Amino acid sequence: MKRSLTGILYSWKVAPYVFVMPFILSFLVFWVYPLFSAVKMSLQDILPGEATFVGFENFAKLLKDRTFFIAVGNSFLYTVLTIVFLIPFPLFYAVLLDSNFVKAKGFIKAVLYLPALTSVVVSGIIFRLMFSEMPGSAMNKIIALFGCPPIRWLGIKNAAFFALILICCWRWTGVNMLYFLSGLKAIDTGLYESAEIDGATKAQKLFFITIPMLKPTMIYVLTISIYAGLAMFMEVYMLMGNGGPRNIALTIVGYLYRRGIERNQLGYGNAVGIVLLVLALTVNTVQLAMTGTLKQKKE
């Protein structure tokens, strides 16, 4: 019996399935099962010890829920703003660090990547103190140098979003920079040598070699940035509570937490989560189609 079992495990036909089995089990337990559970719960009205099937009633309520649409708008605004900053600037830093103009590259990489290792709780507390409405806060001291009165930063929508974008860029610029650096290392140096022989300038090499060759990396960074933007929650929660005053920074995940956890409306909260999943899949599928990735996969 032991010999036959050993023979099966060492079989060329069985071995691949043995190696992929941990992933398959993890995928089924931690992704497929929770997904089906969320879909099931979104069709129910759940109370302690009781679950009543209500069909699509929770989704019908979402269509009339003004607060939900505020959360969707805030999430999309945050996503767009983070993409605007977290692709060009990390790419610029990566190109600089890949060139011969910058010294102490290892130190600069470490400094830019260090914020990503900081806990979001610690980061949130630090930025909350920086953007406090007190006259002695860091940001109010800075604007006081220009003769401006103290601002209630986390009580005004534009100022609150400025704080959120700043903490996001502070934490993730170094991570995206490393993605672009890895993409730059994969570009064949022979392309630059050929372009230089043909008399190409540095700007021409950047726009006609570097950026086109970095397209796969850019698509990857864009995809994870869209997901991270739509799923953002902890930064807002640490800075100003769940959504801030008048829901100025309420996100989709924040609204899911409010209805599902704070108000114990698990069915409604799961409906919000299903809508978030559909939105994230739709947006990413559209951007993959627009960038030609889906077409290339098909071919």
143 within a domain of the structure (yes/no): yes
Examine residue 159 and state whether it is found in any structural domain, yes or no: yes
Residue 147: per-residue pLDDT: 87
Calpha distance 85→226 (Å, rounded):
13
* Domain assignment of residue 39, yes or no: no
23 is a domain residue: no
How many domains does the structure of the chain reveal? 1
Distance CA(91)–CA(179), nearest Å, equals 9
Range of the domain at 272: 66-298
Paired strand residues for 50: 47
pLDDT value for 6: 61
Residue 90 within a domain: yes
How high is the pLDDT of residue 40? 92
Let me know if residue 31 belongs to a domain. no
The pLDDT of residue 298: 52
Return the pLDDT at 296: 58
In contact, 225 and 218? CB cutoff 8 Å: no
User: Do 221 and 85 form a contact (C-beta atoms < 8 A)?
Assistant: no
Whether 260 is covered by a domain: the verdict is yes
Three state DSSP letters for the chain: CHHHHHHHHCCCCCHHHHHHHHHHHHHHHHHHHHHHHHHHHHCEEEECCEEEECCCHHHHHHHCCHHHHHHHHHHHHHHHHHHHHHCHHHHHHHHHHHCCCCCCHHHHHHHHHHHHHCCHHHHHHHHHHHCCCCCCCHHHHHHHCCCCCCCCHHHCHHHHHHHHHHHHHHHHHHHHHHHHHHHHHCCCHHHHHHHHHCCCCHHHHHHHHHHHHCHHHHHHHHHHHHHHHHCCCHHHHHHHCCCCHHHCCCCHHHHHHHHHHHCCCHHHHHHHHHHHHHHHHHHHHHHHHHCCHHHHHHC
* Residue 195: predicted pLDDT: 86
Q: Report the candidate in 228, 192, 241 with the shortest Cα–Cα distance to residue 81.
A: 228
Give the CA diameter of the chain.
85
Q: Are 223 and 287 in contact (CB under 8 A)?
A: yes
**Residues 135, 144: contact at Cβ < 8 Å?**
yes
- CATH number of 239's domain: 1.10.3720.10
Low-confidence ranges of the chain (pLDDT < 70): 1-11, 294-299
Residue 17 placed within a domain = no
